[in-house]
Copies of this chain bind each other. A is one copy, B any other.
Amino acid sequence: MREKTIDQLIRETWMAITKMYNEEAAKYEGTMSVGYVLLKIDPEIGTPSTALAPMMGMVVTSLSRTLKKMEEKGLIYREPNPEDGRSVLVKLTEYGHKMRDKSKETVLQFNQKIEDNFSVEELNTFKKVSKGILELINKRKIYKD
């Protein structure tokens, strides 16, 4: 069998992470997306709803669905932004705080296991290559237009 290409390997790794995070989230009747939004909300002062989508690289409509679901589950509430009357702050409920802590723990535990299993040099090279690939893509160095 031919060796996997780099993009296949990245795809497979990300899909495995997605599956794993969704399985962990399911233990608390959540999803990876919900956990991800929880982590992006400032636990003290809340976060403007308009700031969340770009922070997550998501489109506004699919984030709206997630926020609505999170409101129904009692994880978040919305209130007018005191700094900007036209925008709305998304804030964590007490339950939301608890689930945010859980999400954080889940992410930290995964990253800790990775750190335990590879040397600092290996991880630095992994980061260097990942960032390099990102840069090649973002600077449009791959394809001629």
Contacts and interface: CB of A to CB of B under 8 A. Distances in A.
Interface of A: 4-7, 9-17, 19-20, 24, 57, 106-107, 109-111, 113-114, 117-118, 121-123, 125-134, 136-138, 141-143
B17 A137 contact: yes
A82 B130 CA distance: 45
Interface of A is mostly: helix
A122 B125 contact: yes
Contact of A14 (B11, B109, B126): B11
A114 to B, nearest CB: 5
A6 B123 contact: yes
Contacts of A6: 111, 114, 123, 126-127
A43 to B, nearest CB: 15
